[in-house]
Amino acid sequence: MTTATFTVKGMTCGHCVSSVKEEVGEVPGVAGVQVDLATGLMTVESDSPLDAAQIRTAVAEAGYEVADPS
């Protein structure tokens, strides 16, 4: 199992979290998605390494943005 962590910007409520989880969960290979509204941290689990661009696109489709790593 592979785990990747991203920071999602712009979420303000539980509906935001649900939207992000739904979109990212549809990316091929994603086995699980956990999102913490307070911190904006999203943890994505998969059976093999994922393409970060696909995750960014899924988050954008939900209406949010993945923060660039600092």
Q: Give the pLDDT confidence of 3-29 residue by residue, as tens digits.
A: 999 999 999 999 999 999 999 999 999
Tell me the residue range of the domain where 46 lies: 2-66
Whose tokens are 């988050």? That residue is: 59
- Count structural domains, the chain: 1
Q: What is the spatial distance between Cα 60 and Cα 56, in angstroms, rounded to a whole number?
A: 6
- pLDDT class for 61, splitting at 50, 70, 90? very high
The CATH number of whichever domain residue 18 belongs to comes to 3.30.70.100
Which class for 20: exposed (0-12), middle (13-18), buried (19 or more C-beta within 10 A)? buried
